[in-house]
Structure 1
């Protein structure tokens, strides 16, 4: 609308918003620069005839009153029963948001608040618009962090698995209770008595069914291969359990492997190669680079890139001959601080068949082998290969049938296989020192340097991991990747940029280690033969164990005798010997497999409409859920993914106790010890979530929270104004049909409908921040600066039951209802509080049981829109001609040639001149004269302006660029002592409208 935001009147609005039920304020027509107040006697004479707003809805709630009011609202409006109520009602559609399980290992934090409130906003929106919401909160209850925290000082006291499990379960239950209480206090809608927990027997049985079906398809297998191993946790880890430390410091070395057998192609083609006469092949050493010197004793080969070019170079300082990639020669010369003279050139493929001498192990020979993983980004272009300690190295070993012998134990120490000098030394510390010392002693160490690089750490203990081989259970993700990527293309992802990360992580994951060497988890249902070590696992044994878990929980794996776990009928079908020939396995399943199978326990055969989690789940729950669902059902478990960022401090720092910047959500709600953290209440916390750009990192702190509180206070003021002016109005009795309303009122319904459409679209896009922006623009521009300023005279000074006042109240009630419902998903406590004060419904009714915004298609009035917006364009010209002056003190003449614009203005004022027409109300002037041309006898002080307005009706079928002229002159009328408009004959008598109202009241 042209110029709605420029209308003056904010000052009076703020005063009107500050009304109380006990005293009368100055009354005006909506102008911002009010004249001096009337005398006390004049005010008192008409005070009781003015219909000032009245409501018991408090403008402000702070401190304990705010907290008590929120809890009262939760109780009175049935927050606890809302989820169950909506599950029982009939609905055409269901909306399923599958809850990713938070980890049950500590107190609730702002990351929980961000995630749970974001989900709740969407759930409440879907419920309001009539869908049956399926949302079952869950908790991830197994895993090492819980086990370690539960044991505390008992971690090394030799407890048996059942004792460990009982303590871990008790710890998890306590954490769940604290988190659940917090989620309820935040207003999160759910049936909190019907949650899922990964330690429940029924859940574990569903998980084993997924395991069984994947095993039946050959997707789960046991193998001896390198895995990420955490010495600090003494267990294998999946990639999702790692965090990378970009500041890790390694002792990187350059070491030589003497070439003792020449590659056959070099020997046979020596004459045709560009070789210097001084070149002696028997003195060449292959130069390798590694950031993990402790792996040198496990070396089985040196790899090269077949298509690259290699050079034999002579050091200028000591004549040493080195084989390096030609591309890396210059950087090596700079590193060594000497010139490197090229004395021979080869292609990588010509190195095939060459054999080197191991630098630290006497009589050990290692071959030169081609490999695709060799790069020229760093190092020498020749890669030291230890199959036991590298994923790429293992691939080379598998292809060339090299040994994968492990010299490192579960504690990260060298075993006796590494020799007496290294045995029992920690590979990452003293073991590294010793290996470097050994290389130096034998003359193989060329250079040592500090290398700062990204290195994997155990995400729980925050200690470095190593790669070492062990016998583990794996999921063959390589065979699932293509299908997973295919179904992922059909999944809607917000933001879309997260899709690339998901696909990249799938590409990198060739297998998934799912076994853990711990006690607190779901046991892998495998038995091993006492003599041969052969695994017994099949559909009969796993199915039987699943039934036992469902009935007794997984503790029975340790509680029941082997004969019960492996009954005769299972052994017979398995063609196995007696149960006493077997021992139960001791490994448990990776907790990502635990939570990744949640779709099977919670969703069963259906798919969730959406998963909503933080970006750390791109490599975690999002992926494990996808892989298990694709493996079993050949489809994704979700239709959409919403990936949000992390909560960080106001300074953009990651929160940590050491920095002292952790924000406790309980302190946000109830107040903290620090004076900068007053009691904000749950709705401020929810507003913070909604207003944030959740697709990036989300900042929280006093500044953000204070702004949220202030914005809610402004919203309360607007809602209070609406409620106050609806005193005594019942829409079921007093509502006016839209066709009979004033045009400005009809126009507001048109704007309200546009507002509701924008808000609905924003919620549908998971963009609560846009909801708030649309809300604030609607209140500031369309309500406060435009409609409220215009209607005050009609609301306060017209007869109580007049059509004009009831028309206005009908619209105010629709606005109140629409705004309240639009904010309800974000601010449920405030919305229900407003609903308790709002007219037109039973006291026991709650907003959330009464549906979404009730906009009507009949509110869309294109012709009406042109009439009001054309008047707004004229009004802008008028206001710009009297800058800084009170429009109520002027008469306005509007001259428009006969045509569409004139007809539109006639719809707002039928008579040629009026002080009470809708056009006069819109202009907020004393009088409007509507003519086809300006009169010739205008007074000399008249202000003249001209303008045009483009009329566009019926989608452009009717277009007319209409001109208008205006003349502004000071009014000759006096100010009415009751309404304060300049429409009275003299200062001591009422205007005609007020005379009628007062006489009727008497």
Structure 2
């Protein structure tokens, strides 16, 4: 239904004519009253105008800003908020599981991006009524902490327990600094109840996962190639590698003389006498470990004769042209064969006399570069090892843990660093025996140790592994049910599962969770670890770890026959098992009659414990894109292995923080942004104190799915945006001075239609405000700039400032302003909690002790959506736009407006805004911001010659399309003849310097 219908349109139209365009005649007595008022001091008018008043500061900078944020945290109970919401009743829980940052240094801007992003989501969910489960944690083990704890002096003869003590102390210091920073940023949590991977309880849960996987046959020990870091002296998982695209290797082309021809080629022996297989490698140091040369069975191969030397080379036919250009000579084909015809061929090793090297088929051979024939060293290559496993080749490691050649490499190479002088020596040896065809520099991507930033090697080692190949299909299946943002990151997760056939989970360090392996039979047991933690692996005598009853039960030899294993678990296994240790209703201990003690670390009660299928999943994991191959993967694999499901329902994968030039941050470039300096300011005048909310706004405003830029421009832009927002909030607060919505609010049905329409827009805004912080900011700014500042605020100021204080019109406006203030404040609260709580302290309508975050989300009502309201106001706005377009750059208040609409829906809607034919104070006039508005069925014939005419149409669509009408309108605009009112400044006075009738009424009423 429409807001208002007129039954006698003809009668109403007859009352309107040309006289409406002219101001009314002023009587002599009225003129004298105006003179009397006009002679009053200007101050009297100024004091009578209800201008905004508030003690909410326009801006806060420097130390005042910092002090105010800390004060807000204190008086609004930031520290107690998480515990409060955990104790309240809620129908639903939202669990964001915290990926543990590494406890090896000070907080950095990457921490800020991650933690604030999580906090924005948590605060949003809490305001929407959910009970948030968020336990911050720290990854506390591993080589970087151990190295930093020991400093430049290294172990210096320290025992494992002494090393562990130093590493723990270092980690605890880093945790304290990071925790203090996270609290300062306003991150909501119970900071007294965090999780740490070095806690005994956490280690117990972790080893339960290990035991479950071991019992299912997923954990095994083997001697196979792994990524090995000579600079760290430990094995690495693929997640611990970073690839340097600018790595420079010395690549070589070398020959392996074909000593025994393949059977299918023997008939052409005369033509092929003296042929050599040509290989290419970027790792010359692996040549002494060669056990085979591999070919592609389905490819074509040719014997080529060099024009410059007559040398015969066997290479892939596809690579012939490129090799000719590379060698700078013509290559004549002396015969072509399929790869399968090379079967049975045997070469001589170029530097090891008497060693035979077979030609073997392999699917990993490619034709993109090289010669199409691959030098194969099973001890130092993953694909090479697969070939060796299939053909039962020897796997001999010629390199020690420091990256030096061992005696197995020969006396000429022993003790040389393989990748440095060892490489030079191998090349020299190849040159001496005539096997070196070409040497060149090769720039390519190569794996580095992510901690030491030094190249890694592949070498075989006795390690513990997880058979991820058997988990891959199930992991892929459950991953399809996980929501991934951005969706493009899903491909990386799946590709990583395809690429990883096994996961090396053992490390050769002291600072970590020991793999409870007792050699030679490797009896192991799980853990309670509640008191002593994993230190007891080194502290307890072997008799305690392997008591007589266990030896008897297992029919093992005497305890003297055993030694304890020295490997610790990969830190990715540490953190990947966090779902088992942290998520609520996690792994439950079975009751045991055995008293708790540090010996329970190896008690058999663990063997009865199982991870149950009922354990919950986190709603969300949020981490950087580097965790696609890290924590996201290790969490997925361990959970699938134990529970056959993913530990998370959804993933958010954000980018890295870079400088405003797009550069990776580094101390050498001097572009590192310290979040503590961002908040507190630096010694340099160009680094002011921005406070925590500016840092949070920067996070929210950024496109976190790509590289996130930070620098002076980004921070200044964030501060400017907050300043504009602050001024909007201050305007709202100032106009609510003395207003109490609990007693003075106007019922929506009694409000001006523009006020009702503003509530309708607020409701639409509140429905768009969501946890996507970037979108929330865009919606916020569009609402403030468009619906509020450019529209509503510009329209209502006269009514707000100049109407009587207690008038229905002004209270109607204030009711809306209070709702808008409340809605805006709550919608920005997840992003800007300090500003939101500061505003709430000044806002009317609640108890002084109440805080915003304990009072819920935006409170909007379906009553605000009234049929016909939207069409009435938006129809008027369409007319308003035509009016303003006809007087570009002019003051609308200086014009009289006549609106002509033929009888119909649009006319009835406009009549709901202005019942009388002409008015200076109707709701239609207020919307038009004109001096006077006349609503008529047709334009008068005697329009002034200076009238500006324009027309337009407005489509009315009501009741779901049941009522549709494309209504036309025409407007006539003429300069007003009315005078400027010195109080309200509208052109509605009878004579210059005379108060308009409305202002006279207000002042007389006030008197």
Residue 560 of structure 1, CA deviation: 0.8
Distance 1:326 1:885 in 2: 81
Match of 2:443 among 432, 436, 452: 452
Query: How is 1:247-646 mapped onto 2 (pairs within 5 angstroms)?
Result: 247-267=246-266, 270=267, 280-529=271-520, 535-537=521-523, 541-543=524-526, 546-547=527-528, 549-603=529-583, 604=586, 605-646=615-656
Match of 1:717 among 707, 724, 727: 727
Distance 1:188 1:651 in 2: 29
SS in structure 1 at match of 2:302:
strand
Distance 1:607 1:40 in 2: 77
Match of 2:601 in 1: none
Distance 2:865 2:745 in 1: 18
Residue 787 of structure 1, CA deviation: 0.5
Residue 42 of structure 1, CA deviation: 4.0
Residue 39 of structure 1, CA deviation: 9.3
Match of 1:155 in 2: 154
Distance 1:573 1:527 in 2: 15
Match of 2:764 in 1: 754
Match of 1:703 in 2: 713
Post-superposition Cα deviations, 1:732-786, rounded to whole Å, max 9, x if no partner, equal 00111111110000000010011111113xx2xxx21111111111111111111
Match of 1:47 in 2: 46
Match of 2:89 in 1: 90
Match of 1:229 in 2: 228
Distance 1:552 1:156 in 2: 23
SS in structure 2 at match of 1:280:
helix
Q: Is 1:918 equivalent to 2:909 in the alignment?
A: no
Match of 1:30 in 2: none
Residue 48 of structure 1, CA deviation: 2.4
Check whether the contact 2:618–2:647 (CA below 8 A) recurs between aligned residues. yes
Match of 2:905 in 1: 900
Residue 996 of structure 1, CA deviation: 1.6
Distance 1:890 1:796 in 2: 21
Q: Unpaired segments of 5 or more residues in structure 1?
A: 1-37, 530-534
Post-superposition Cα deviations, 1:642-662, rounded to whole Å, max 9, x if no partner, equal 000001111110000000100
Distance 2:50 2:195 in 1: 56
Distance 1:124 1:294 in 2: 56
Q: Tell which deviates more after alignment, 563-572 or 140-149.
A: 563-572
SS in structure 1 at match of 2:154:
helix
TM-score, reference length from structure 2:
0.93
Q: Is 1:819 equivalent to 2:792 in the alignment?
A: no
Q: Is 1:62 equivalent to 2:57 in the alignment?
A: no
Match of 1:20 in 2: none
SS in structure 1 at match of 2:925:
helix
Post-superposition Cα deviations, 1:929-984, rounded to whole Å, max 9, x if no partner, equal 11111111222221111111111112222111101111112222222221111222
Match of 2:866 in 1: 861
Check whether the contact 2:403–2:418 (CA below 8 A) recurs between aligned residues. yes
Query: How is 1:178-193 mapped onto 2 (pairs within 5 angstroms)?
Result: 178-193=177-192
Size of the alignment, in residue pairs? 941
Check whether the contact 2:38–2:994 (CA below 8 A) recurs between aligned residues. no
Match of 2:34 in 1: none
Distance 1:691 1:889 in 2: 41
Distance 2:73 2:858 in 1: 22
Distance 2:735 2:260 in 1: 98
Q: Is 1:877 equivalent to 2:887 in the alignment?
A: no
Distance 1:370 1:989 in 2: 104
Distance 1:153 1:897 in 2: 90
Q: Is 1:982 equivalent to 2:995 in the alignment?
A: no
Check whether the contact 1:79–1:187 (CA below 8 A) recurs between aligned residues. yes
Post-superposition Cα deviations, 1:381-431, rounded to whole Å, max 9, x if no partner, equal 001000000000000000000000111111111111111111101100111
Check whether the contact 1:255–1:445 (CA below 8 A) recurs between aligned residues. yes
Residue 862 of structure 1, CA deviation: 4.1
Residue 41 of structure 1, CA deviation: 5.4
SS in structure 1 at match of 2:347:
strand
TM-score, reference length from structure 1:
0.93
CA pair 811-286 structure 1, distance change in 2 beyond 3 A: same
Match of 2:697 among 683, 687, 694: 687
CA pair 40-428 structure 1, distance change in 2 beyond 3 A: farther
Distance 1:498 1:865 in 2: 42
Residue 581 of structure 1, CA deviation: 2.1
SS in structure 1 at match of 2:566:
coil
Distance 2:532 2:425 in 1: 52
CA RMSD, 1 decimal: 1.2
SS in structure 1 at match of 2:530:
helix
Q: Unpaired segments of 5 or more residues in structure 2?
A: 1-36, 587-614
Check whether the contact 2:293–2:376 (CA below 8 A) recurs between aligned residues. yes
Residue 156 of structure 1, CA deviation: 4.2
Post-superposition Cα deviations, 1:701-723, rounded to whole Å, max 9, x if no partner, equal 01110111111001010000000
CA pair 591-40 structure 1, distance change in 2 beyond 3 A: farther
CA pair 40-110 structure 1, distance change in 2 beyond 3 A: farther
Distance 1:832 1:445 in 2: 74
Distance 2:434 2:407 in 1: 24
Post-superposition Cα deviations, 1:251-277, rounded to whole Å, max 9, x if no partner, equal 11111111111111222xx3xxxx6x9
Distance 2:404 2:343 in 1: 34
Check whether the contact 1:42–1:977 (CA below 8 A) recurs between aligned residues. no
Match of 2:662 in 1: 652
Check whether the contact 1:57–1:837 (CA below 8 A) recurs between aligned residues. yes
Residue 351 of structure 1, CA deviation: 0.5
Check whether the contact 1:307–1:347 (CA below 8 A) recurs between aligned residues. yes
Match of 2:598 in 1: none
Q: Tell which deviates more after alignment, 314-323 or 155-164.
A: 155-164
